[in-house]
Structure 1
Amino acid sequence: MAKKVLVVDDEKTIVKGIKYSLEQDGMKVDSAFDGEEALELAKNNAYDMVLLDVMLPKMDGFEVCQQIREFSSVPIVMITAKGDDMDKILGLEYGADDYITKPFNILEVKARIKAIMRRTTKADTQASVLTFGELVINEEYRRVYVGDKEINLTSREFDVLEFLVSTPGKVYNRSELLHAIWGEDFPGDERTVDVHVRRLREKLEKSPSEPRYVRTKWGSGYFFQA
């Protein structure tokens, strides 16, 4: 089945270029040119990826991202014309999975999209369900529950959790996590890891300041407590 992507940018030439390129790779592409239109499309369609510009009319990309996160864990890649690191971190704070800075090469955009899609698509048909007390992780369907409540994680948050869970008790420093999950060529810095760990704790833990699952070994890094 063809992957479906929503491209959101008020610059129609950029949307047209991205749409054409993705369609050449067999993807289905919807377009939106303002924040309200993007949010409406995201509510009414099942997308495999959202490319979302920060600077949009009616509602900016950060607000759109935040509202999408209230009902969907679809991977979101923010597009920003600014080089300011805080813009990028703010995008991650609102639940974005990745970001691309303008001007960009369309080949880079496609590579980033395909990398995220590979991580979120499981070829294995047998579900692997891991249980740690009240925490239940379904690796095949990438769904997480605490007790009877499903927790809405972004694809990157799930990647962090899954990676830590794979070796309970093993401590990974920020650099190791950044390279393992975001890749060697990721342009962000180690604060990205801290943002995602903090968000994971806020979603999974009864007391985020005293975490039960995603723990810190001071001066060393993070680990999962089984």
Structure 2
Amino acid sequence: MRVGIADGESEVVAHLKLIVQDLGHEAVGFVESSALTQALSKKTTFDLVILDWNIPGSDGYSILQWMETNLPKRPPVIMMASRSAKRDITDALNAGADDYITKPEDRSIIAARVSALLRGSSATGAFDTEVTYGKYTMNRLEQSVTLHGKTAFLTAKEFELAEMFFKNADRTLARNFIMETIWRTTATLATRTLDMHISRVRAKLDLRPENGFRIFTVFGYGYRLETIPL
């Protein structure tokens, strides 16, 4: 697959290109926003774009808007933002970015997030009775999850929520998206229900780093199930 990487710092571009190439994909680097949009204007196709929020010549929001307007189908976008500028992360996600990377970030985390977006439709078939995510095995008929030989039985909503997180591991999910998908509502009162269900899923599935996954809150946006390299 082909990944476009746009960042004003050539060292960052080189670093990300190596990570993408080590995953077996092609990487094309840009150090200015105009170079990226020119390539896209010439119908250069990317399966994923990694974009700096503060790229010289423009900004992440403007580039996202340009892509939405000018491309028949916008590729997934991972936005990069400084770790010290948390508001940039929220703004990037609200602007339509599919994921984000805070700089600097661990190589393995970057690789996991790139892989998650490139997997696309290659995920396990929707009609399989059992699906496995790391150490976890989910049984759709029993609505149960097995870890280390111990089985936890979930309610219908808990199971639906857990499966949504596993399918979207290493991607940040907006609260509204979760509530619309599972509860068919975005009502304010439903957020308490969401928080309660996430707490129960975390406890029942024992989602901890030593088991390969953890759920954490993305302030002002939603939740993320992160893969922890073991």
Partner of 1:121, secondary structure, is helix
Counterpart in the other structure of 2:12: 14
**What CA distance in whole angstroms lies between the structure 2 residues aligned with 1:86 and 1:194?**
17
Instruction: State the structure with more CA Rg.
Output: 2
Counterpart in the other structure of 2:3: 5
**What CA distance in whole angstroms lies between the structure 1 residues aligned with 2:61 and 2:76?**
14
Residue 185 (structure 2) aligned to one of 199, 210, 215: 215
* CA-CA distance at 1:91 after TM superposition: 0.5
Partner of 1:215, secondary structure, is coil
Once superposed, what is the RMSD of the aligned Cα atoms? 3.6
One-letter amino acid of the counterpart of residue 91, structure 2? L
Unaligned runs of 5+ in 1: 129-169, 202-212, 222-226
Q: TM-score, normalised by structure 2?
A: 0.57
| Shift in CA distance, 176/24, structure 1 to aligned 2, threshold 3 Å | closer
* CA-CA distance at 1:96 after TM superposition: 0.3
Sequence identity (%) = 22
**What CA distance in whole angstroms lies between the structure 2 residues aligned with 1:11 and 1:54?**
12
Partner of 1:78, secondary structure, is strand
Partner of 2:122, secondary structure, is coil
Counterpart in the other structure of 1:122: 122
**What CA distance in whole angstroms lies between the structure 2 residues aligned with 1:51 and 1:97?**
10
One-letter amino acid of the counterpart of residue 41, structure 1? A
One-letter amino acid of the counterpart of residue 28, structure 2? D
**What CA distance in whole angstroms lies between the structure 2 residues aligned with 1:197 and 1:42?**
32
Partner of 2:174, secondary structure, is helix
**What CA distance in whole angstroms lies between the structure 1 residues aligned with 2:162 and 2:122?**
23
**What CA distance in whole angstroms lies between the structure 1 residues aligned with 2:83 and 2:36?**
21
Counterpart in the other structure of 2:91: 90
**What CA distance in whole angstroms lies between the structure 1 residues aligned with 2:20 and 2:88?**
26
Unaligned runs of 5+ in 2: 128-155, 195-230
Counterpart in the other structure of 1:42: 40
* CA-CA distance at 1:171 after TM superposition: 5.4
* CA-CA distance at 1:197 after TM superposition: 6.6
Q: TM-score, normalised by structure 1?
A: 0.58
One-letter amino acid of the counterpart of residue 108, structure 1? I
What does 1:174-213 align with in structure 2 at a 5 Å threshold? Answer: 179-180=165-166, 182-183=168-169, 193-194=174-175, 196=177
**What CA distance in whole angstroms lies between the structure 1 residues aligned with 2:168 and 2:90?**
14
* CA-CA distance at 1:56 after TM superposition: 1.2
Counterpart in the other structure of 1:58: 57
* CA-CA distance at 1:18 after TM superposition: 1.6
| Shift in CA distance, 60/214, structure 1 to aligned 2, threshold 3 Å | same
Partner of 1:16, secondary structure, is helix
**What CA distance in whole angstroms lies between the structure 2 residues aligned with 1:66 and 1:177?**
31
What does 1:112-151 align with in structure 2 at a 5 Å threshold? Answer: 112-118=113-119, 120-122=120-122
**What CA distance in whole angstroms lies between the structure 2 residues aligned with 1:181 and 1:90?**
24
- Which digits, 9 at most, give the CA deviation of each residue in 1:166-187, with x for residues without a partner? xxxx757xx869844653x66x
**What CA distance in whole angstroms lies between the structure 2 residues aligned with 1:97 and 1:193?**
10
| Shift in CA distance, 58/115, structure 1 to aligned 2, threshold 3 Å | same
